[in-house]
Structure 1
Amino acid sequence: ILAGVDLVHVPYKGSGPSLAATIGGEVQVLFSTILSGLRQVEAGKLRGLAVTSAKRLQALPNIPTVAETVPGFESGPWYGVMVAAKTPRAIVEKLNQGIVAILRRPDVKETFTREGAEVHGSTPEELRSFVKAQIERWAKVVRQAKIRVD
């Protein structure tokens, strides 16, 4: 929507077949997760055109962001640790403190960075706000693009 680009989505059963199709010339462009595409870019089998994160990735510092061409564009995978809604607050806080402590360890951060991931340990409230904002953002995209399930 932001770039006014019209692409045809070709469904594949996983990243392996979609990477093979792109490397083999069956399709011309691929939106890949960093974990799937990074090694292929490093091996010279794929050329990275842009990353969809807000800022350049430490693992691929020479590849620009889409936002450098299309201001405001940002998209990418994220992971949050979640528990049942009725979990006692004390348990939620203890889990959060432990997870954040692990994510702040230099060896853990370096492993994630090497794999192309950016680590952001936060609070349960920050995650809740983030998820709410993501739902609102993508609901708007779905409405604007008139996306529907066939």
Structure 2
Amino acid sequence: MAQFYYENIHNNLDLYPNIGRLYAIALTCPCTSIECERGFSQYNLIKTNHRNLLSVAHVNQLSIITIEGPPIHDFDFDEAFSKWVYKKERRSFNTMYLKEASRNVTVEKENEPQNSQSAEGNVGDNDAMIESQIERRISALSNIVYSLVGNKKVS
């Protein structure tokens, strides 16, 4: 068919302009409705009775991720979660961990003997403690995600 088009129509577009346009339109039309059916199928998996309050924008984003994203067994949850955590400051995330870290620092300060460490040393210790708590929580949350998906991760 393509050979016929190029030999007879494409070389004579000035003689057959309407047939050339019709052929171009025919090439852009899908042969099947598989893509459309796949989209509706994924939509029905995303928007269930249990998740009926999702906004249109959220359903759209989830649909695009589901349809065009990598297969679930190829997705690296640790990397994605780490990027999400360190991307920008989130009030609830930072408040939660900083409050817990400050409680731990207060308890440690009450229990430790008085010494002549500089304030800068304590700040570095606080940062290291917060980093280790974040790493532990990242590991715990990614294990939860792996168990929900079905890929058991051994720490």
Q: TM-score interval w.r.t. the shorter chain?
A: under 0.3
* Rg larger in structure: 2
TM-score, normalised to structure 1, is 0.23
TM-score (norm 2): 0.22
Which one has the bigger helix percentage? Answer: 2
